[in-house]
Amino acid sequence: MRKYVTSLLLIALILAALPGCASSARYQTSALATQDIVLLDGDMDASREWQKEAEKRFVHPVIVTVHGRTVAGKWYCFPQHPRQMVLVADLAQSMHERFPGRDIVLIVCNEDGHAIHVPHVWYAQHKVWVRPTASLYPWERGERNKSVIVGDITQFVN
């Protein structure tokens, strides 16, 4: 129960940092760069490239970028501030509530192929490249074609 409450509090902090709120200049600056990207950790330019990639499949998607991995059998993400573990399913539900009716694309590594069941939330079932494959020069794509790491929006599931 304590971990669940802690996750909810962390998600509340994250949501408070989104556009329209007066906290966390770092999140606010990142999120205000475009109303369609929530950068919790990572690179804004790479998130913009993922946004272009996602627009090949979705109309006006929200991109959420954050590091993720499995801990003790559960899928967690790690927002930069505060650097605490948050269940990806909880983050997905919060984003779904924050942006109702919009497709949410989670750019979050999921090496163990965890499933979440939140409407309109799309995610990869493997690790995710920082930048989508389409944003690379042709000579940079060769090694990616041999990898199971996700670099294409068609590989995201709901």
CA 109, 154, 52, 120 torsion-angle sign: negative
Report the domain count for the chain: 1
Locus of tokens 């000579």: 139
Question: What is the per-residue pLDDT for 31?
Answer: 37
26 — pLDDT class (breaks 50, 70, 90)? very low
pLDDT tens, residue by residue, 36-46: 899 998 889 99
Contact between 11 and 89 (Cβ < 8 Å): no
pTM: 0.79
> Residue 29 belongs to what domain range?
2-155
Q: Kindly report, residue by residue over 43-99, the tens digit of the pLDDT.
A: 899 999 999 999 999 999 999 999 999 999 999 999 987 678 999 999 999 999 999
At CA 22, angle to CA 16 and CA 27, rounded to 5? 60
In this prediction, what percent of the chain has a pLDDT beyond 90?
Answer: 61
3-state percent helix, strand, coil for the chain, nearest multiple of 5: 35, 15, 45
